[in-house]
């Protein structure tokens, strides 16, 4: 047994705790593969859309892929997913890219590339559906911020599971502070789709737990995938209900 301020701990538990704390605390040494790919895709899409706009073509990527509620209700469901890869202006892209680099990298480091991609797509989709379901039918939306709030929610869930560690508790406090600041900012500054942010955050917390499994011990891959699929299914149900209200 290993002596500790609060008693004695088994050597295996101490080693596991140290390894977990090191992984949580480890800085982002380099962009992760999937995070880098999403960043590159967002930049390329923005550049192509900008060029098409300069050429005066009406069929720009933003016009064809933004989340426009009435068009979604009329059958253009792809907009609920394509909207998370589109941005309105260079500043919009820059802020979202920086946030994605940080939190996407953290989640990819914690969960692995495949699960990070699944969490990103599921929470981004859920964020779009939340905006579509509860927002105004006449307001279009685009941007990766809903999915980024999903990453932040997943990071919160990841650290809540490890709250016995001091560094994890500090990460929880930091995440809650960022969430609070951004939600206040979203409610007070016009033009921000706070519904998408809330949808991404809530689904991100759920996805963060689902990606590792609920309970004290993590579950198998099939169970993890089922949890993420359940979140996506709920989003589909909400979208179908909203469509029935608009058509």
Query: Active-site positions?
Result: 145, 197
Residue 246 sits at the vertex; the CA angle it makes with 240 and 247, to the nearest 5 degrees, is: 90
CA distance 113 to 229: 17
Q: Is there a contact between 127 and 199 (Cβ–Cβ < 8 Å)?
A: yes
CA distance 221 to 212: 8
Residue 185 has phi, psi (to 5 degrees) of -60, -40
Q: Is there a contact between 174 and 232 (Cβ–Cβ < 8 Å)?
A: no
Segment 159-168 long-range contacts (CB within 8 Å, at least 24 positions apart) = 159/24, 161/209, 161/212, 162/20, 162/24, 164/17, 165/17, 165/20, 165/21, 165/24, 166/21, 167/21, 167/24, 167/25, 168/21, 168/24
Say how many C-beta atoms besides its own lie within 10 A of residue 153's C-beta: 28
CA distance 197 to 150: 8
Beta-strand pair 7-9/2-4 = antiparallel
């Amino acid at each position: 047994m290993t002596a500790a301020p609060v008693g004695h701990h088994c050597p295996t538990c101490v080693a596991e705790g140290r390894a977990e704390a090191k992984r949580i605390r480890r800085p982002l040494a380099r962009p992760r593969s999937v995070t880098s790919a999403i960043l590159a895709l967002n930049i390329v899409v923005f550049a192509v859309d900008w060029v098409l706009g300069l050429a005066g073509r009406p069929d720009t990527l933003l016009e064809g892929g933004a989340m426009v509620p009435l068009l979604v209700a009329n059958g253009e469901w792809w907009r609920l997913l394509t909207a998370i890869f589109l941005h309105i202006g260079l500043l919009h892209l820059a802020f979202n890219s920086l946030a994605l680099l940080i939190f996407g990298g953290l989640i990819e480091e914690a969960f692995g590339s495949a699960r990070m991609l699944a969490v990103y797509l599921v929470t981004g989709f859920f964020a779009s559906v939340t905006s579509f379901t509860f927002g105004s039918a006449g307001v279009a939306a685009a941007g990766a911020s809903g999915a980024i709030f999903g990453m932040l929610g997943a990071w919160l869930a990841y650290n809540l599971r490890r709250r016995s560690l001091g560094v994890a508790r500090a990460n929880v406090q930091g995440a809650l502070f960022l969430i609070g600041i951004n939600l206040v900012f979203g409610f007070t500054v016009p033009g921000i789709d706070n519904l998408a942010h809330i949808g991404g955050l809530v689904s991100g917390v759920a996805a963060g737990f689902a990606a590792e499994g609920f309970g004290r011990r993590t579950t198998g891959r099939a169970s993890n995938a089922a949890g993420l699929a359940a979140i996506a299914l709920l989003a589909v149900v909400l979208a179908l209900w909203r469509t029935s209200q608009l058509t």
